[in-house]
A and B are shown apart, each in its own frame.
Chain A
Amino acid sequence: MTPRRFSFLLGASFIVALSVLGAIPAWTQDTVLKTQAFGTLTRPVALFDHDTHNEKAGLDDCAICHHVYRNGKLVAGESSEDKACSDCHTLQGQGRQPGLRVAYHTACAGCHTTKAKGPLACGQCHRR
């Protein structure tokens, strides 16, 4: 093998390796639910593939989940996707604002129940 050919193969395999590595996050979930606030989790993190989910479920309005409240009223037309749920929802509920776990479960399982579509049982979201 000539040095030229060798360096070509080396470079090519480098590029192939990089693109494979780069593709890995695309195969797994793209959004990571921020769970630090829970401390050690007692269950596997819930399945939630943000964009695929919202496309499948036909959710165009970001504020369905990323809501904004002012003076206890839902503000229409404003959304809070720059914030994590846990930025507002502390572990323990505060007044009418539910605690973090309850907020997630009410939002996620609540909609699945009304639509009778999507996961409902614990083990469907918290997949081992």
Chain B
Amino acid sequence: MERIYILVSGPLAWIAWSVLILGSIYRLWQVFSLAKQKEQVLFSYISLKYALRSIINWSIPWNTTNMRLHPIFTGVAFLFHIGFFVILIFLSAHVIMIEEGFGLSWPTIPDALADVMAFLVVGACIFFGVRRIVRPEVAFVTDWTDFALLGLVAAPFLTGILAYHQWGDPLLMTILHMLSAEILLISIPFTRLVHMLFAPFTRGYIGSEFGMVRHVKDW
């Protein structure tokens, strides 16, 4: 088991981050060269001002008409995304490992706060899953891959909670935590989680077209 920990905390972590970075560059290159080939005209609509204006407006909870139509979903979605990145970047155990491995360090959030956020992230995943079953209009466009992706995202948080509270064997839980996070990182470029990369561009494009060409707000 010690050897498995050394494997998942060392070589596998390097592989996962490399696949994430190289895979992301590949996916962005792929989409941009496709756009260049087929829809040259798209590029003439891009305006940094209108793109940023749209991105900023869509980054404020309940700021858009669409968000106000779905207030609960919006609240949960914002909590989920904020929790995801705040825990990833500011959890003390993550920063401690980076400091001891690379000599870099930055401020952290209290573990008690991270704990609450982790439960909220897992709860949000359950909420998204239930919504996919009970809302007919969403159930209609749902298949098993949606649940698989939700499980993939929830797994590092669930195992992180187990490892932190030492529910179950700490070594095993920490191994499962690192392994599930690595699987998640590797899947980002190649699944619908790729929206993490594309969202700023699609939002920016729509913002540009609405702002510059149609002279209307897109929120």
Contact = CB atoms under 8 A, between A and B. Distances in A.
A118 B5 CA distance: 12
A87 B178 CA distance: 35
Interface in B146-182: 163-166, 170-171, 173-175
Contacts of A28: none
Interface residues on A, range: 10 to 19
Given A105-B100, A123-B170, A124-B171, A116 B2 contact: yes
Contacts of A5: none
Interface in B1-21: 2-3, 5-6, 9
B2 A123 contact: no
Nearest to A122: B93
A92 B209 CA distance: 52
B166 A123 contact: yes
A82 B6 CA distance: 34
A113 B101 CA distance: 13
Nearest to B162: A123
A113 B6 contact: yes
Contacts of B5: 120-121
4 smallest A-B Cβ distances: which pairs? A123-B170, A121-B174, A123-B166, A116-B2
12 contacts: A101-B96, A105-B100, A106-B100, A116-B3, A116-B6, A117-B2, A120-B174, A121-B5, A122-B93, A122-B174, A123-B163, A123-B173
